[in-house]
Amino acid sequence: MSKLAIGLVVFMALFAGFPAAQASDGFRLLRLDGTHLKWGSPLLGSGAAVKYAFATRDIHSPGARNCGEIGPVAPIMSSSRIDAKHFEAETAAAFALWSAAADISFVRVEDPGRADIVIGAQLVPRGRAFTEVFFDRKPGGGVQSLKKSFICLNPEKPWKVGFDGDIEVYDLRYTIAHEIGHAIGLDHPGHSGQVMGFAYEEEFRELQPGDSAGVTALYGKPGVPLVSVPVPATGSTDSMALQ
C-alpha cells in the first residue's frame, strides 16, 4: 500500500507524553499546554455550530506558524483546472463527513471575517496543506474553546477530484477533510488507517472508525444533547499550526 506523508504536527511539544505507536482507540485529540481544544462550549462531548468561508482577500496573521499569509483559492483552481463549482462542492462534502458523525454543524458564509474556519491558498507556498488554530489560553488546563482556524493549501502543488492511484496528486476532498479534523480539535493518531493519519493514502474517502470516535469524543453524537457544566476561564489568544 503506497502512501505519502500528509504532514506532521509542526509544534512537536504536542506529542509530549504520547506513545509513538498508533493510538489504540484510533484517534487522538489535540492537546496544547495540557488542554484540549474544540469549538463551542469548553466541554468534551458538547455540540457546536461552526461557520466557514473561503478567503476573498489576502489575510495576514502575525505570529502564526503556518497559514500566516493566505489569499483566495483561485490560484489553486487555476493551476489544477478545478472550477469553482467543484472546489466548493468538494469542500462542502469534506465538512459533511464530520457533521454526519457528530453533533457539529457547518454553514458557509461569504465574509471570512465572520467565519470560524477560513480556507485559502498559501501566499508563500510550501508543503501541501496546513492548519493553524487560535484559541484563548486559559489557566487550569481542561478544555478550551477555539476562536479561529485557518486551512491553507499550496497553489503550486497539483490537486485533483477523486482517487486515480496517483498519490503524487492529492485528492481535494480527502486533504481538506484531514485539515478540517485539525481545525475542529483532532490530532494525528498515527501513520495510517484513518483520515486523520499523517499519511496520504487512496484507500478510503469516508471517515474511519477512529475518526468518528474522535469527533464524537469532542462534540457528542448527532442529535444527542449533553447536559453538563462547562469549564469557566478567561485568558489570552494563542495559536498552533498543523499539517
Tens of pLDDT along 17-46? Answer: 333 344 557 899 998 878 899 999 999 999
C-alpha cell recorded at residue 234: 478567561
Report the pLDDT value the prediction gives residue 25, as an integer from 0 to 100.
74
Give me the pLDDT at residue 21, please.
40
**Which pLDDT value is given to residue 223?**
75
- Sequence-distant (6+) residues with CB within 8 A of 239 are 61, 63, 64, 65, 132, 133, 134, 135
d(CA 19, CA 168): 29
Rounded mean pLDDT of 215-242? 60
Q: What percent of the chain has pLDDT over 90?
A: 72
Cα separation, 243 vs 153, in Å, equals 10
Instruction: Report the pLDDT value the prediction gives residue 161, as an integer from 0 to 100.
Output: 96
pLDDT at site 22: 46
In this prediction, residue 7 has a pLDDT band, given cuts at 50, 70 and 90, of: very low
Q: CA-to-CA distance for 243 and 189, rounded, in angstroms?
A: 13
Is the pLDDT at 69 greater than 70, yes or no?
A: yes
Q: Which of 8-12, 73-77, 98-102, 231-235 has the lowest mean pLDDT?
A: 8-12
Spatial neighbors of 33 by CB under 8 A, at least 6 apart, are 137, 141
Least confident of 60-64, 68-72, 127-131, 143-147: 60-64
Question: What confidence score (pLDDT) does residue 41 get?
Answer: 93
Whole-angstrom distance, CA of residue 28 vs CA of residue 34: 14
Measured CA to CA in angstroms, residue 84 lies from 23, 110, 200, 212, 230 at distances of: 37, 14, 24, 29, 40
For 13, 164, 167, 188, 242, the CA distances from 5, given in Å and listed in that order, are 20, 18, 10, 12, 13
Instruction: Using CB atoms within 10 Å of the CB of residue 22, give its burial: 0 to 12 exposed, 13 to 18 middle, 19+ buried.
Output: middle
- Tell me if the domain spanning 4-10+25-221 has CATH number 3.40.390.10: yes
User: In which band, very low, low, confident or very high, does the pLDDT at 239 lie, cut at 50, 70 and 90?
Assistant: very low
Question: Nine-digit cell at 71?
Answer: 489569499
pLDDT tens per residue across span 181-214: 999 999 999 888 999 999 999 999 999 999 999 9
Average pLDDT, the chain: 84
Q: Are the C-beta atoms of residues 158 and 79 closer than 8 Å to each other? A: yes
> If we measure between CA atoms, which residue out of 103, 107, 116 comes closest to residue 146?
116
